[in-house]
Structure 1
């Protein structure tokens, strides 16, 4: 395990897994400049490590993340300059996360608010503990939303509910988050929460990394492409996929009625 001060990074090579744990439990894992510098370093480390097939984000203590550190907001001599610096780092982290070739899981162990919710929605999957709660909270203190909230939320939960969360600061519990497709599943066994998330990650790690990478790019591009352009992109990527060793292995495994052993080639 690689230890920073505000986060922890664990690389589990045997399971092709990386775990980034937010580690400011007394501050509900609130984001500040130092936190973000460490998180960006961790993301870059994971992104460059070709042994990793899946990333889990989670938090230590009672919160996934409460978002930005409001105490530091209050103490800032020049709030707008402080916010500009913090936001640039928040956005850098989200861009690295979204552009990773591997798949990511937000393991939401508790309160998930503000920029914390932004980071959770930027992951490919969201798995919630039964005690987790979800909210935006930006406008509650006179800020406009940030950290991808206005981009991801309407796409995940629909415009009507997104408006309630963004304007009226509606808070969802875990079952509501599942009902409205904000999360993929809820784990009711609180004591085994992370272990259950790891089982989900293990299923991901059995898949074809190149096919996953192409699929991530296609999903992202679908938000801006027209249908004809997108069909061309699908054709381009499936042809690339058909030229890989993993495709040959997948076919062979299918006809031999066994699980494939993909090699990212």
Structure 2
């Protein structure tokens, strides 16, 4: 595995860390492909039932490594950067049939912020910040920033943040609905692990159907969404975890889901 991405599996949780701390975990070509491969490995690994994306050092991810796009010998061109590097990362995150948590441990800027916002649940340390930094260098938000941000915080706020490039701290991000929760520095690590391990013990297939239904809800009509819920609910009711959940409820005990 490329050293720019670290993978640790613990208690059925895959912890994927961006590992270019001296570059604030900014992406270059190698790191983008390494992340895609690591996500693919997690998809295939039945031991993994939840995924956490985080960063080493002080930053979560500062987005694109500017050196790569300013060096004429390295610059692959924006078409390749988006279509080969970032877009596949976003589609993997949204299509993985396992919950993906962004644990934002510091600044999340540009594509780094939008990769975080594409995850199923976003939590952050209190000192973290989110910046749509694109306009500061004459670019537009990519990595699905123009898709997820207005859906999370509304058109006006999304438009202002995308155009002005204002920094939003974790407290404000939680208040406006950009993220789920922020935690103090003292409790952050323990809270992330507790959340991830809780998800890993839940009915994995039901969570996957929930994720797919939420994905479809962005574009479906009410009637289409009701029909989809019916389809997925019937499928969920045919899982072993449903049987276990009902049995545990009737027997007044804690359910032991296996992800089947």
Q: TM-score, normalised by structure 2?
A: 0.96
Extract unaligned runs of 5+ from structure 2: none
**CA distance in structure 2 between the partners assigned to 1:61 and 1:228 by the alignment:** 47
CA contact (8 A) 2:53 2:101 kept: yes
Q: Report 1 or 2 for greater relative contact order, CA contacts < 8 Å, sequence distance ≥ 6.
A: 2
1:126 equivalent in structure 2:
122
2:89 equivalent in structure 1:
93
Q: CA deviation at 1:118?
A: 1.1
CA contact (8 A) 2:2 2:30 kept: no
Cα root mean square deviation, aligned: 1.3
**CA distance in structure 2 between the partners assigned to 1:238 and 1:135 by the alignment:** 38
Q: CA deviation at 1:191?
A: 4.5
Among 236, 241, 248, the alignment partner of 2:236 is 241
**CA distance in structure 1 between the partners assigned to 2:74 and 2:38 by the alignment:** 29
Extract unaligned runs of 5+ from structure 1: none
Q: CA deviation at 1:78?
A: 8.3
2:49 equivalent in structure 1:
53
Runs of 4+ in 1 over 2 A off after TM superposition: 76-79, 191-195
1:157 equivalent in structure 2:
153
Does structure 1 residue 253 correspond to structure 2 residue 253? no
Q: CA deviation at 1:77?
A: 5.0
Q: TM-score, normalised by structure 1?
A: 0.94
CA contact (8 A) 2:107 2:130 kept: yes
CA contact (8 A) 1:109 1:129 kept: yes
Q: For 1:143-185, what per-residue CA distance to the aligned partner results, in whole angstroms no more than 9, with x for missing partners?
A: 1211110000001111111011101111101110010111111
Q: For 1:30-72, what per-residue CA distance to the aligned partner results, in whole angstroms no more than 9, with x for missing partners?
A: 0110111111110100111111111000001111001001122
1:63 equivalent in structure 2:
59
